[in-house]
Amino acid sequence: MVYSREVEGKLYTFGVSGRLYKSNVLLYDHQTESLWSQMMEKAIAGPLVGKRLKKLSSVRTSWKNWREKNPHTLVLSRDTGFKRNYSVDPYEGYYRSLGIWFPVGDVRRDLSPKEMVLGIEVKGKAKAYPVSQIGKQPGILKDEVGGEPVEIEVAPDGEIVGVRDERGEPIPAIFSYWFAWQAFQQKTDVYRGKR
């Protein structure tokens, strides 16, 4: 996920708080030590409580795919100032997203808890698209969220490469485990496929 570091005209830098809310790692800002929830997209405690994070458009994709589409891209260097072995996955293959560390409360049984979903929220209405299901149908999936048209582009290899409105503007969307999405979007709809 990508957010603006500017909140109401002021710049902040963020770190990892070590605190969790609903299994989500909370960020904190170094300037005020407020705690920020990525899923709620706002500060949930501290001097900036209630202030919102502005989500910016980003994609998660393979290096091959990104490089083909963006030949002049820059790449974050391993020269981070920290000594880490970046060829090793510290989570040993455990698939994780959005800093989810352990499961939360009762989980709605619409899908299995660890099913990956593409989550979209438009005008206060949320909808979850099972990634395994929509990945089987390459092309443009046309649907509606919150009464607004939504287009999801699925590449021939099943990768979800874009979520847009009818004017072609990107709509922020996130990949998440079902259990985490439904914890934050308790009234979420679930995409069931075209009849």
Binders of another protein among residues 138 to 177 (CB under 8 A) are none
Rg (CA), the chain: 18
| Interaction of residue 27 with another protein, rule CB under 8 A | yes
Give, as one character, the DSSP assignment of residue 51: P
| Interaction of residue 70 with another protein, rule CB under 8 A | yes
For residue 102, how far is the Cα from the chain centroid?
17
| Interaction of residue 186 with another protein, rule CB under 8 A | no
Shortest distance in whole angstroms from residue 5 CB to another protein: 4
Shortest distance in whole angstroms from residue 188 CB to another protein: 19
Torsion-angle region of 66 (φ positive above 0: left; ψ -120 to 50: alpha; else: beta): alpha
Distance (Å) of CA 114 to CA 9, 67, 95, 100, 166: 38, 30, 10, 11, 31
Binders of another protein among residues 82 to 111 (CB under 8 A) are 82, 84, 86-87, 89-91, 97-99, 101-102
Separation CA 37–CA 27 (nearest Å): 7
Q: Which residue's CB is nearer to another protein, number 37 or number 190?
A: 37
- Whether the CB-CB separation of 131 and 117 falls below 8 Å is answered with yes
Sheet containing strand 125-130, edge to edge, reads 173-177, 116-122, 125-130, 189-190
Shortest distance in whole angstroms from residue 126 CB to another protein: 18
- Return the range that interacts with another protein (CB under 8 A); candidates 41-49, 120-128, 143-151, 185-193: 41-49
Binders of another protein among residues 48 to 67 (CB under 8 A) are 49-50, 56-64, 66-67
Separation CA 135–CA 153 (nearest Å): 10
Number of residues that bind another protein (CB under 8 A): 65
Shortest distance in whole angstroms from residue 54 CB to another protein: 10
Binding site for another protein (CB under 8 A): 1-6, 11, 13-22, 25-28, 33, 35, 37-38, 44-46, 49-50, 56-64, 66-67, 70-82, 84, 86-87, 89-91, 97-99, 101-102
